[in-house]
Amino acid sequence: MYVSYDNSHPSPVLYSDKVTATDGHPAILYINQTVAGRPVYLAFVGTQLPPEAAGLKNCSDSNYTATFTEGNTGGNTITYFLLNVYVA
């Protein structure tokens, strides 16, 4: 996933941050508080594995969930984005 606060179409060439999520390993992006009030743009890029990839030949039921969450740590409010990928 590519993230940008300035570019409305983040990509491998233009991004502020990038994170990767895989099956069972979520990506967590902590939102930068110095850009409070500005939009955050996200671009999701999937990778198609080759057919010979072990155990993934029939992963037609894969999906993902994406959520923004606000929490509190040590008296400070933080916002983070969580991306989970599920491969069936």
Average pLDDT over residues 56-71: 69
Q: Write down the pTM of the prediction.
A: 0.66
Which pLDDT value is given to residue 28?
80
Q: With 70 as the cut, is the pLDDT of residue 2 above it?
A: yes
12 or 79, greater pLDDT: 12
Domain boundaries along the sequence of the chain: 2-47+61-86
What DSSP designation does 48 have? P
Closest to 64 (Cα-Cα) out of 8, 31, 20, 18: 20
Q: Give how far Cα 88 sits from Cα of 2, 25, 57, 80, 81, Å.
A: 24, 14, 10, 26, 23
Q: Tens digit of pLDDT for each residue in 17-63?
A: 888 887 778 888 777 565 667 788 888 887 766 666 656 555 566 67
Which pLDDT value is given to residue 9?
92
